[in-house]
Chains A and B, each alone.
Chain A
Amino acid sequence: MSIATTRTRIVRPLVVRRRGLLTRHPRITLAALLLGTLAGLAIFAPFITEYDPMTLAVTQRLRPPSAAHWFGTDAYGRDTFSRTIYGGRISMQIGVSVAAMSVLIGVVVGMLGGAIRWLDPIVMRISDGLMSIPAILLAIALMSLTKASVATVIIAITIPEVPRVIRLVRSLVLTIREQTYMQAAIASGTRLPRLMLRHILPNVLTPLIVQATYICASAVLLEAYLGFLGAGTPTEVPSWGNIIAENRTFVQLATWNVMFPGVFLALMVLGVNMLGDGVRDLLDPRLAGRIGK
């Protein structure tokens, strides 16, 4: 494969090569398009819609979708399209932060557990215990004890995700530990920190990137569930879960207020999941069975 790509690079112009990449990985392309659109809408929301997501307009209550209000309005007359695209900001922020934080903590703890023998059983027992608590219940419990904010939601979703990363990292480290290059490194007197950074970490990165995308998808979903149940970000924040929770009572009267943010949520999760699958198959097809949902 590498020879073929090198040759195409020399002979053909860049554009053709890029098109080849896109058609060869339609799933990644589709996911990137989907996520790019959603991210674009969220980031440039103030330029896309003239409506403020928070401004009340009592005379405009519960209007169905129209040219003026693409996704209709909610019970306070707020524009649902505006609230939906602003809601993407919260979801993106939470998805990315949770993925980054849980991977970071999971890698450090998982590598230490895999490398230091006496620490391993302790780390594993704690992970087993945490994993036996349904993530949503653990997050609800944490949220019931703290003041609701975007930061506390991120922490409440990260804690249940960490043990999953720890388990993955540890299982990889246990395999790597038995490789000949590890024995060679140990025999030549490499110290533990260097062993971990230079010999173990590069080998766990690929599966971790894939795992991070899956965590991102499940965090976006979990954040919406928490908002829906009233355990999420403060109610004045227009997150998708909050929007749906507020409009539940009017769902029969005004379906659009629940369906549009719901579909946006599903599309974002779908995009991230597809990206994860695509990257997994691209980086290492053998991983297919090992990680994933």
Chain B
Amino acid sequence: MLRIVLRRLGATIPVMLVVAVVVFLMLHLSAGDPAAIIAGDNATEEDIALLRKSLGLDRPLAEQFVQWIWQLAQGDLGVSIFNRVPVATMIAQRMEPTIALTVLTMTLAVSLAVPLGVLAAWRVGTWVDHTIMALAVAAFSCPVFLIGYALVQQFARTWKVLPVQGYTPLSEGLVPFLLHLALPAISLGLIYTALLARMTRSTMLEVLGEDYIRTARAKGLGVRQVLLQHGLRNAAVPIVTTIGLGIALLIGGVVVAESVFAIPGIGRLTVEALQQRDYPVIQGVILVSSLAYVLVNLLIDLSYLLLDPRIRY
């Protein structure tokens, strides 16, 4: 088991290396002078020259890259241009709300989408299927902010049962924490549920067409047993894969939702960095979120071992 984990972990290195190269090259090959970008809009010519020298930007590109990667490997994501705080510290401070929102949305979406998808596949071609799928297309065509503002209008302003915006850390109690995350998680969750329900349905449809399903029906097993034990069990691996791949999309949604609901997470941090043209922070956020994506998908890969005993790495 340990060997499998280590080997899989090793396989993530090339992916992360590509991410690093992309992020590095984006800054260095973009139209502007990286020193001028890092120095900010108000820097003088001398500031820029000084910065170029101190950051080693006058040295060859390959040498700079190796040095930068070496720093990254030690967990050094660089320093914010705006307030000179290490990027790693800034990201760590803003991590909690983002993780909380992502996990909550995911839990909500998975617990709704899988039953809906299975139901639609079981009742394929009927009005149940058509209704679920029509709602799904409508939901994932809606922008996060539209659902978000509509929910705020109804739940927070008209009925006044949930807070309009903001965030309370978990350390200040579970109830206020959940109340503040309810609307953002529902807004994002609706969209994500729609995507997952669609994928669950199409995967289940494929599985339900298999011979062993007919055999199970023929030998007189009940609907629930056929659907769950024979159907869902076999559809689990592709469904879980979709959930993992969807995380990149979910992180994107979280960035927008944090702006709608004024949640001080990674997404807000990115937007603030964008306004200040604080490229090292944006770069750090990309590296951390890609790493999160890669690691979650690694965990999902490993979960196949539990979901499907036929799979061996």
How many angstroms from the CA of A277 to the CA of B198 in the assembled complex? 12
Question: Which residues of A have CB within 8 Å of B146?
Answer: 258-259, 262-263, 265-266
Instruction: For the complex formed, measure the closest distance between the CB of B89 and the CB atoms of chain A, giving whole angstroms.
Output: 19
Contact (Cβ within 8 A) B137 A270: yes
B62 adjacent to chain A (CB < 8 Å):
no
How many angstroms from the CA of A129 to the CA of B14 in the assembled complex? 8
Contact (Cβ within 8 A) A133 B202: no
Question: Which residues of B have CB within 8 Å of A200?
Answer: none
**Binary flags per residue of B255-292, CB closer than 8 Å to A gives 1, else 0:** 11001000000000011011101010011011001100
Contact (Cβ within 8 A) A126 B18: yes
How many angstroms from the CA of A263 to the CA of B142 in the assembled complex? 8
Known contacts A221-B143, A259-B149; decide if A129 and B22 are in contact (CB<8 Å): yes
Contact (Cβ within 8 A) A132 B279: no
Known contacts A128-B15, A273-B141; decide if A134 and B150 are in contact (CB<8 Å): no
Size range of the chain B interface in the assembly: 35 or more
Question: Which residues of A have CB within 8 Å of B69?
Answer: none
Contact of B256 among A138, A228, A293 (CB under 8 A): A228
**Binary flags per residue of B236-259, CB closer than 8 Å to A gives 1, else 0:** 000000000000110110011001
Known contacts A230-B271, A289-B203; decide if A133 and B137 are in contact (CB<8 Å): no
8 A Cβ contacts from A120-160 to B: 125-126, 128-138, 140-147
B95 adjacent to chain A (CB < 8 Å):
no
How many angstroms from the CA of A20 to the CA of B121 in the assembled complex? 28
Question: Which residues of B have CB within 8 Å of A137?
Answer: 251-252, 255, 270, 282, 285-286, 289
Known contacts A144-B277, A217-B141; decide if A131 and B248 are in contact (CB<8 Å): yes
Question: Which residues of A have CB within 8 Å of B152?
Answer: 251
B308 adjacent to chain A (CB < 8 Å):
no
Tell me the dominant secondary structure on chain A's binding face: helix
Question: Which residues of A have CB within 8 Å of B199?
Answer: 292-293
B53 adjacent to chain A (CB < 8 Å):
no
A224 adjacent to chain B (CB < 8 Å):
yes
Contact (Cβ within 8 A) B140 A145: no
Question: Which residues of B have CB within 8 Å of A274?
Answer: 137
8 A Cβ contacts from A87-146 to B: 125-126, 128-138, 140-146
Contact of A125 among B14, B138, B150, B277 (CB under 8 A): B14
Which residue, of A142, A145, A266, has the highest number of chain B Cβ atoms within 10 A? A145
Contact (Cβ within 8 A) B140 A141: no
Contact (Cβ within 8 A) A146 B145: no
Contact of B150 among A142, A221, A259 (CB under 8 A): A259
Instruction: For the complex formed, measure the closest distance between the CB of A163 and the CB atoms of chain B, giving whole angstroms.
Output: 10
Question: Which residues of A have CB within 8 Å of B149?
Answer: 251, 255, 258-259, 262
**Binary flags per residue of A176-198, CB closer than 8 Å to B gives 1, else 0:** 00000000000000000000000
Contact (Cβ within 8 A) A270 B15: no
B293 adjacent to chain A (CB < 8 Å):
yes
A215 adjacent to chain B (CB < 8 Å):
no
**Binary flags per residue of B182-226, CB closer than 8 Å to A gives 1, else 0:** 000000000000010011001101100000000000000000000
Contact (Cβ within 8 A) A145 B37: yes
A35 adjacent to chain B (CB < 8 Å):
no
Contact of B140 among A252, A273, A288 (CB under 8 A): A273
Q: Which of B25-33, B40-48, B106-114, B172-180 contacts A (4 or more CB under 8 A)?
A: B25-33
**Binary flags per residue of A256-286, CB closer than 8 Å to B gives 1, else 0:** 0011001101110110011001000000000
How many angstroms from the CA of A265 to the CA of B157 in the assembled complex? 24
Contact (Cβ within 8 A) A129 B153: no
* Other contacts beyond A128-B14, A228-B259, A255-B149: 4, CB < 8 A: A133-B286, A134-B293, A141-B286, A266-B138
Nearest 3 CB-CB pairings of A with B: A129-B18, A136-B252, A262-B146
11 contacts between A and B (CB under 8 A): A132-B294, A133-B19, A134-B251, A134-B252, A136-B252, A137-B255, A140-B282, A258-B149, A259-B150, A277-B137, A288-B205
Interface residues of A, Cβ cutoff 8 Å to B: 125-126, 128-138, 140-147, 217, 221, 224-225, 228-231, 244, 251-252, 255, 258-259, 262-263, 265-267, 269-270, 273-274, 277, 288-289, 292-293
